Each structure stands twice: as structure tokens, then as C-alpha cells.
Structure 1
Amino acid sequence: MPTNARQPFIPRLALTPGEPAGIGPDVCVTIAQQAHPADLVVVGDAALLRERADALGLSLALMPFDPTAPARPQQAGQLKLLQSLPPAARVHPGILTPANATHVLDTLTQACDGCRDGRFDAMVTAPVQKSVINEAGFAFSGHTEFLAARCGGHPVMLLAAPGLRVALATTHLPLRAVPDAITPALLERVITTLERALRQDFGIDAPRILVCGLNPHAGEGGHLGQEEQSLIGPAVQALQARGLRLTGPLPADTVFVPDRLAQTDAVLALYHDQGLPVLKHLGFGRAVNITVGLSIIRTSVDHGTALDLAGTGRADHGSLEAAIDTAIAIAKQHRKAHASHQHQ
């Protein structure tokens, strides 16, 4: 073979185990039992990961991460390790300890900074427990907000399952606060961010987006609410005039029927429980949480810490596997687009 033959791109992913008392460490050591077409680097504590692997009866070889070495596909039974600050207190599966919040935040910081400086092509996160981080005295409302503050951008939550992508205009808000949060500026930012991500991350040339209404029957012509006529409709029309392929506002109870989904690339739901119950019914355990609009690639699982399953061997690693596969695909799409741009 010629010595100058182009080598295949092997993405290098930072993997954070999340809350140490939850199932994050379990699913991390479980996915390490099979090979992956990416260089997986777990950002965590060696002792914790070995202890959890032992509890699950799994073999695990942890090798120090060398950022100067070329990326190589991960081999079954192995993980590279970027050592984090160790947990301050002994970890017991299923038992939250606020003292270990510093450990959790350090794993996220190292993974994020590694993506920013080019050591990693993407980061994949297992679930954290927001409450215990807050109880430790840190202002933390979630992965997305933490990463946005650290690396910049205007994040939008996009969840993907086989056959469906759902983005959220608002995320973790009380329902009574949602209408006040829906503004023309918010809709413009979220929709343009989503449209750009569908192009850049998924390679869709002309994305088609369905926009949900806020009220039942999309306001029923103003009889069940005015937001569709006064806010959502005009925002959609303004973006349509700029060339975006949008349809809406549509009644949320009929957006997710097969005929409509066959004609779209993503659905924009206006609040958390408008779109996510449908997506999780369709693909729970196989869905992926993708943060678009950041300066880095970040994917995550579609579930929480599942404290009652930690250390039992009953945790399903399917969503983490899907998150890894999605991060690989997006990283390759970015590399392909970058190479194409250089050749123009």
C-alpha cells in the first residue's frame, strides 16, 4: 500500500461517567466490553471504575491517556483513562453524597476543555444528579447550561431516536412559565440553531422542520389562546421568508402521526413534556440527547441516574451505546465538511 495513503479518521471521544453513585460508571464499564470504531477516553477515577467493574463481574483494563499518541479504535475490555479528581468520599452505589460533586464537575470540565483544545473530537456524558450538585453549593442547572457557560454558544436540546428528532424551544421550566418564555427572539434563535445543526451535524441539505403550537389545536383560530397568532405564526413566517423550510404552528397532538413525520427532519416542541413523551415512548433506551449550538460536539443518554439499579448489573447501556454512535457520526460529518471546505 502506498505510504501516503490517507488514513481513516478515528474520532476520539471523551466519556464522562456522571454521578458516581448512579448507573453512569456501570454503563461505562459495560460498553467497554465491546470494541468501538472510536478512541474512547473515560474521564474519571480509576479506583471507582475498577471497583464498579469488579462489582459487575467485568474485566476492565484502564490505560493512561496519551494525547500525543494517534487515535486508535477501542478494543474490547479496554478503556483509556484521563484521571479526574477522585471522589472526596467513599462511593456506595445508590447513595448520593454531596461531597463528590467536585469530582463530577471536574470530569465535565476536563472533557469540555479537551474538546475545546482539540484533544477530543466530542464528549459523551452519562447522567448526573443535579440536586446533589446544588446541595454541595454549586449553581448547576444541568449539563447543557454548564457546557454553554464554559465553551460558549446558544445551546438547543435535540433528542433523537430511530425515525424521529425532537428539539425543545424551552427545557426545564415550570409549565406556568412556558408561555412567557416563548418570544420571537427565542423562536428565531432556536429554529435557526436547529436548522444549522441539521445541516452541519446530520448532512441534511434543506432541513424540513415542523413547529408545534403552544395551545390545544394550535389555538383553534384564537379561541383557545392567542400565542399562535401573535407570536409563533409570525416568527415562522419571517423565517420562511428567509428560505427556511418550516411548517406550523401545528397542533401538537397530530404532529407526530406517521404521515407528517415522513415529511420532516425534526419537530420543534415548545416545552419539555410536549415532545419528549412521544420520543421516549418510541425509543427509550435507544434515544440520544444531543446539545446543538455549542462550539463542541456533545451527546448524552436519554435517562437519569437510576440509583436503584447502580451496581446491580441490571442497567441498560443501550442509550450510551447510541450516544457514542451518534457522536462518532457527527464527528465524521464535521470532518467531511471541513475537508470539503478546504478543497473548495
Structure 2
Amino acid sequence: MNTQDRKPRIAISVGDINGIGYEIIVKSLKDKNILDFFTPVIFGSTKHLNHFKNLVKEESIQFFGINSADKAVDRKINVVNLWKEPVQMEFGKATEISGRMAFESLKAAAEAVKNGDCDVLVTAPINKKNIQSEEFNFPGHTEYLGDVWGGNPLMFLVTDTLKVSLVTQHIPLKEVSEQITKEGIVQKIKALHDSLKLDFGVRKPKIAVLGLNPHSGDNGLLGSEEQEIIVPAIQTVYEQGILVFGPYAADSFFNPTNLEMFDAVLGMYHDQALIPFKTLCFEDGVNYTASLPFVRTSPDHGVAYDIAGKGIADETSFREALYTAVSIYEKRKEYKDLTSNVLKTRELKPERER
């Protein structure tokens, strides 16, 4: 089948098998209507999946085992069986083998997208510690995909009503101020601006930038980064035609009036932007990795070892990640169509003789 005619194929990595990854995957795919919108391709084990199908009493779900992603069939929940004899799951435990399986699933799913067998990637949560190995020496999904797909990934947390991104990502708090540079902020603002246009169809994005210090430094009283680094970065990009404003004090920014004014918010470090985001949008928030050649999304939560295997995990964020991935994929195609060959020439037919 021509890739232009088939439904979008979503490569799904299963994450840590001892967490809630398999459970939220099964729950998200229980509605048969989703197969009208995309074709799931899960990289894991039908035996593991069937365990959770029984656990959550979703007997109507049927898994279609395939040897490779290029054999995926529309209107089926396809499963590339990576392990013929998968290990017993040990719910709530961070084991070496669950980390290895998480990586094997992620690697296979990412490769399937890169080689064109799948169109987008949705990742279930991993444990960032037990997945570490000689092949995976990264702080998380974001940095790994930047390496294997190529690009300068931008961590982007999104819902319909709130979108936040970061200048620094997974680094210790004590290193944040050292990593804040004018060049880095300029690059992140431009990447955020481009993603809003390309991935979300915002014609003229309006971006808010948060300060680093309390009260945005209080004119240098509480820190000089705003005056010396952040303000010059904002001015540089604003002069290039991008609507960017700030720096705003983080402790008072996240109120309805401010959020309605902007299409996205750029924070300086992880918790500064993600705490308010997850407080306001925990159930339907989606983690999107922008500025890469392919689309990757994930739920905005972790492995949740404390509730793993109990059948009580909420699948809302993972389900939103599936639909968001497809939406961004379609937006990218639409943007490409609108911006390529804008001034197409066409042959003029001679006027008909009267």
C-alpha cells in the first residue's frame, strides 16, 4: 500500500514492563473506533499484553502478532514480538532486565519510524536509571532520540490550553544557572516558534519567557541573569520579528489571564515550568519532543511503580499522546503542502472563440 493512502502508523514502545506502560497501552486501545484514525504497532510481547487484557477485563481486544513493522495491517492492533519467551513481570521493581527490555522496545520502535515502516512514535514511561547501559547513556527519551534521529530536541509539554517548554532539561538544579546563555535562549525561542507554526498550525505565535530568579531578579537585587542574559536574548529574537515577551516572574505567571494571552511559555529549568503544567493539566498533558525529523509523544507521567499491576492506572494522558502524535503528523503534512510550490505555474488555455 502506498504510504500516502494508508492510515498513520504509530510505533509504540512499551516502557518499563514492571511499571504501568502495558496497562495504559491496553486501556488506550480498548475503543475499536481508534482504528479508524491510526494503526498501532506495539513493540513488545503479546503474552504481556494478554496478561493486561485479562487484568483489566478487556476481552474484546485482539492482538495481531507480526514479525516486523513492515507487515503491519490496517484496522489491527499489531504487535512486533521482540521476545519469544518474555520474562515474568515483577511489578513495582526496577530490575536490570526490565530496563534492558525497555531499551530494546524503544530502539526497535525508533528504528521503525526512521526507516519509514511507521510514521510516528509514542513511548510508554521508562525508568531513567535502570535503562542505562553502554547503548543507552542518556538522561531520557528526549536526548536519545536527538542522537539516533538527528536534531536538537526541544522538550515540549502540551495540551489544547497550555504549552510549556524549557531552556534546560534533565540536569541538576545547581547546574542550571551555568547552562543559561543568551545563545541557548535564542535557539530555544526560535525552535519553540517554529514548532508552534509547523506542528500546531499557529500562524503568528506569541511566546512568554519566564525569569530564572525569584521576581525575575528584582532589577538585579536577586540575581543578574535576567538583565545580562535573558532580556538581551528576548530583544534579539523580538527584533527578528518573533512575538516574544518577558521575562515574567514564574511564581505569579500561571494564571488564566496570562495563559490566554500566549500560545506557549518558555521556562528556564525543569520544575519551574513542569510543576505548574502537571498541576493544571496532569490528566491530559502530553510530552512532545519537538525539533526532530519525526514526531514523538509520550504521557506526562512516569512508571508509577506504586500502582503497577493493580489495574487502576489512568490511561488518559497516554491516549492523548496517541491522538496528539497523529494530529502533529497531519499538521506537518499540511504545512508542507502549504509552503511548498507556493507559486505553482499552470498552463493557460487559449480563450474559446466566440
How far 1:87 sits from its partner (Å)? 7.5
RMSD of Structure 2 on Structure 1 (CA): 2.1
The residue aligned with 2:320 is 322
Once the two structures are superposed, what CA deviation does each residue of 1:206-231 show, in whole Å capped at 9, x if it has no partner?
11000001111111111111001100
Q: Does 1:31 align with 2:32?
A: no
2: CA distance between counterparts of 1:213 and 1:291?
23
The residue aligned with 1:3 is none
The residue aligned with 2:166 is 168
Q: Does 1:143 align with 2:160?
A: no
The residue type equivalent to 1:199 in the other structure is K
How far 1:262 sits from its partner (Å)? 1.3
1: CA distance between counterparts of 2:135 and 2:81?
24
The residue aligned with 1:4 is none
Contact kept? 1:87, 1:103, Cα under 8 Å: no
Contact kept? 1:212, 1:248, Cα under 8 Å: yes
2: CA distance between counterparts of 1:21 and 1:136?
22
The residue aligned with 1:62 is 63
How far 1:112 sits from its partner (Å)? 1.1
The residue aligned with 1:17 is 14
SS at match of 2:51: helix
How far 1:246 sits from its partner (Å)? 0.3
The structure 1 residue matched to 2:204, chosen from 203, 206, 219, is: 206
Contact kept? 1:87, 1:100, Cα under 8 Å: no
SS at match of 1:132: coil
Once the two structures are superposed, what CA deviation does each residue of 1:75-123 show, in whole Å capped at 9, x if it has no partner?
xxx5111222467642222222202322211211111112112222211
How far 1:300 sits from its partner (Å)? 0.5
2: CA distance between counterparts of 1:68 and 1:135?
28
TM-score (norm 2): 0.88
Q: Does 1:152 align with 2:153?
A: no
1: CA distance between counterparts of 2:213 and 2:84?
48
Q: Does 1:53 align with 2:46?
A: no
User: Which consecutive segments of 4 or more residues in structure 1 shift more than 6 A?
Assistant: none
The residue aligned with 1:96 is 94
Contact kept? 2:199, 2:328, Cα under 8 Å: yes
The residue aligned with 1:254 is 252
Identical columns (%): 34
The residue type equivalent to 2:241 in the other structure is G
How far 1:52 sits from its partner (Å)? 2.4
How far 1:181 sits from its partner (Å)? 0.6
The residue type equivalent to 1:164 in the other structure is L
The residue type equivalent to 2:48 in the other structure is L
User: Aligned pair in 2 of structure 1 residues 124, 70: CA closer, same or farther (>3 Å)?
Assistant: closer
1: CA distance between counterparts of 2:294 and 2:305?
29
Contact kept? 1:56, 1:311, Cα under 8 Å: no
TM-score (norm 1): 0.91
Which ranges of structure 1 fall in alignment gaps of 5 or more residues? 1-6
Once the two structures are superposed, what CA deviation does each residue of 1:166-221 show, in whole Å capped at 9, x if it has no partner?
10111122221111110112112211111110110001111100000111111111
The residue aligned with 1:110 is 108
The residue type equivalent to 1:27 in the other structure is I
How far 1:157 sits from its partner (Å)? 0.8
Contact kept? 2:11, 2:121, Cα under 8 Å: yes
Contact kept? 1:172, 1:272, Cα under 8 Å: yes
Q: Does 1:263 align with 2:261?
A: yes
Aligned residues: 334
Contact kept? 2:46, 2:65, Cα under 8 Å: no
The residue type equivalent to 1:53 in the other structure is K
The residue type equivalent to 2:138 in the other structure is F
